[in-house]
Amino acid sequence: MAQMSESESKKKPFAGLYQSAYYFLPFYGTNAHKKPIFALNKTINMTKVYQNPPQSEWQMILARPASASAPQTAIKQIFDAIQAQGDVALVQYSAEFDKFAGVWPVSEDELLRAGGQLSEALKSAIEVAYQNIKTFHEAELPKQIRRETMAGVVCERRAFGIERVGLYIPGGTAPLFSTVLMLGIPALLAGCEEVVLCTPPQSNGAIHPTILYAAARCGIKKIFKIGGAQAIASMALGTATVPQCYKIFGPGNQWVTSAKQYANGLGVAIDMPAGPSEVLVLADAALPAFVAADLLAQAEHGNDSQVMLVTTNPALPEQVLAEMDRQLKSLPRAHFIQETLKNSCFLLFENKETAIEAVNFYAPEHLIVQSEYEDWYLPRIRNAGSVFIGQWSPESVGDYASGTNHTLPTSGFAKAWSGVSVESFMKFITFQTLSAEGLIAIGPVVEEMAAAESLDAHARAVSIRLAFLNE
C-alpha cells in the first residue's frame, strides 16, 4: 500500500494509523457478526459491534428502538373534547398536563421583553443563524412554470403559500428555539398569511425567552402557551382562541407525534412522519475524537435516539468507543446518552460497496461522511435526510446555523421523504388556457381517449364545443 505524503496526512487525520492498523486486527470468520469483535468499554458497554453482518440480518441489527406511543383512545378523547367544548376543554387539559391555567396567548409585551433576557452574544448567534437559513431557503423558492404544450394550449403551475400553518415547538428539557427558525423562516418566505405557534409553558406561564425572541424575529405574533396533544388538537380543529391550521409542523414526544398522526387522519396535513433523532457516521480515515463527538452530540437528544457507525477500518470502532467514554464523563446529559447507546451499534465491513449499501438500507436522518473515499461514496448516497461531508462538517452546524433545515425524516422515511423546505409551506395550482385553435387541435385526441375509457360525458364536453366552432 502506498504511503501518504506529509501533506496528505495532515488533510486526513489518523490516516497513518488507519493504513497500518488495517492488517493487525484479524477477522473472525463467517460467524463473527454474532459476537462483538473486542471487549467493550464498561461505561458504554451496551454499544454492540458487528463484523461483516450478512444482509439477511441487517433488518434486525439496524432496527430502530421501539418508541412508546400514546394510546389512541386517549388521543381521540382529547380531540373529541376539544371538538365539542373548544376552549373549555382546552382549559382543563392545560391545567392537567401543562399545570397552567392562565391566559394562553403570548402578549406583545412578553415578546418585547424576551430580547432583554438574552445575552448580546446569543442574540448575535441567532441573527447569524437567521441570515444563513434565510439565504439558503430563499434559493429554494420555486419558479412559475408556463409552457405552450402545443399551439393554442398553454399550461402553467403557480405556487401559493399555505394560508394558515401551525408550528409546534417543544419546551421540555431543552427549549428548541432553533426549530422556531427552521420552521418560521421558510413559512415567512413561502408567504403564509398566518403562522400559529404553540409551545408548552412552565407552571407559572413563562415561555423560554429564546423561543419568544426567535419567533418575533420570524415575524410570528400568534403564540399560545399550550403543549402536548391538546396543542395539536387545538390547531387541527380550531377553537374560539386558537385558529384552525391547514398544516401542522414540528417535533415532539409520543403524545405530540400520535396527535399529529390523528390530525392527519382527519384531513389536516402534517410535515412528515416523525420519530426519535438519529445519526449514522460513515468513516474510515477519521479522527476518533471527531467521530465520538458527533455520535455523542446526537445521543444526548434522548434515550430513544440512535447513533450508528459504519466503517471499513477495523481499528476505528475500539478507538471511537474509548474516546466516547472519555468525552462522556464531562457531559451533563450523560444519563440520556448512556440510555441511547443501548439502542446503538457499530458495523465493520470489508469493503466500501457493502458499507454504502448498509447506509442506504438504514436511510439515516443525519449522515456524516468522514472518509478518504468521500468522492467515491457521495455519488452513491441515495437515502439520507441531510449529509455532512468531511472532518470539518459536524452535524451540529446543520442543527443550528449552516442554512439547511434540521427538520428531517427519521425512522427510515428518508427512503421516500425529504426534509422541510420552503415548498413544504406551499401548495401548487396548475392552470390551462386553450384558444379555439388549441381546442380544435387537441379535441380529437381527448375524444378518442375518453371513448376508449367509456367516459362519454368527458368526450361530449369537447365535442359540443367543436360542433359550435364548426357551425
Q: Is 366 a catalytic residue?
A: yes
Annotated catalytic residue 406: no
Alpha-carbon distance of 409 to 407, in angstroms, equals 7
- The owner of cell 439558503 is 136
Q: What is the pLDDT of residue 68?
A: 67
User: Among the options 278, 300, 318, 365, which is catalytic?
Assistant: 365
Instruction: Report helix, strand and coil shares of the chain as percent, to nearest 5.
Output: 45, 15, 40
Is 108 strand, coil or helix? helix
Q: What is the pLDDT of residue 46?
A: 63
> Rounded CA gap, 190 and 138, in Å?
9
Contact 161, 429 (CB under 8 A): no
What pLDDT is attached to residue 66? Answer: 78
Instruction: Provide the grid cell at 17.
Output: 494509523
Terminal alpha carbon distance of the chain: 84
Q: How far apart (Å, rounded) are the C-alpha atoms in residues 14 and 285?
A: 6
Would you give per-residue pLDDT tens digits along the chain (471 residues)? 333 343 433 343 333 333 322 222 333 333 444 444 443 333 344 678 999 999 999 999 999 987 667 788 999 999 999 999 999 999 999 999 988 887 789 999 999 999 999 999 999 999 999 999 999 999 999 999 999 999 999 999 999 999 999 999 998 656 899 999 999 999 999 999 999 999 999 888 899 999 999 999 999 999 999 999 999 999 999 999 999 999 999 998 889 999 999 999 999 999 998 788 999 999 999 999 999 999 999 998 877 889 999 999 999 999 999 999 999 999 988 888 888 888 899 999 999 999 999 999 999 999 999 999 999 999 999 999 999 999 999 999 999 999 999 999 999 999 999 999 999 999 999 999 999 999 999 999 999 999 999 999 999 999 999 999 998
Say what the pLDDT of residue 307 is.
95
Provide the 3-class DSSP secondary structure of residue 84: helix
Q: How far is CA 353 from the centre of its chain?
A: 27
Query: Can you tell me the distance from the alpha carbon of 379 to that of 395, in angstroms, rounded to the nearest whole number?
Result: 20
SS3 195: strand
Distance CA(15)–CA(377), nearest Å, equals: 17
- Other beta carbons within 10 angstroms of residue 20's beta carbon come to 11
Q: For residues 152 and 436, is the Cβ–Cβ distance under 8 A? A: yes
Q: Is 79 in contact with 236 (CB distance < 8 Å)?
A: yes
pTM given for the model: 0.88
Select which of 33, 208, 301, 366 is catalytic. Answer: 366
| Confidence at residue 172, expressed as pLDDT on a 0 to 100 scale | 61
Q: What pLDDT, on the 0 to 100 scale, is given for residue 173?
A: 58
Q: Which domains, from first to last, does the chain contain?
A: 6-61+275-418 (3.40.50.1980), 72-272 (3.40.50.1980), 435-470 (1.20.5.1300)
Output the pLDDT for position 27: 34
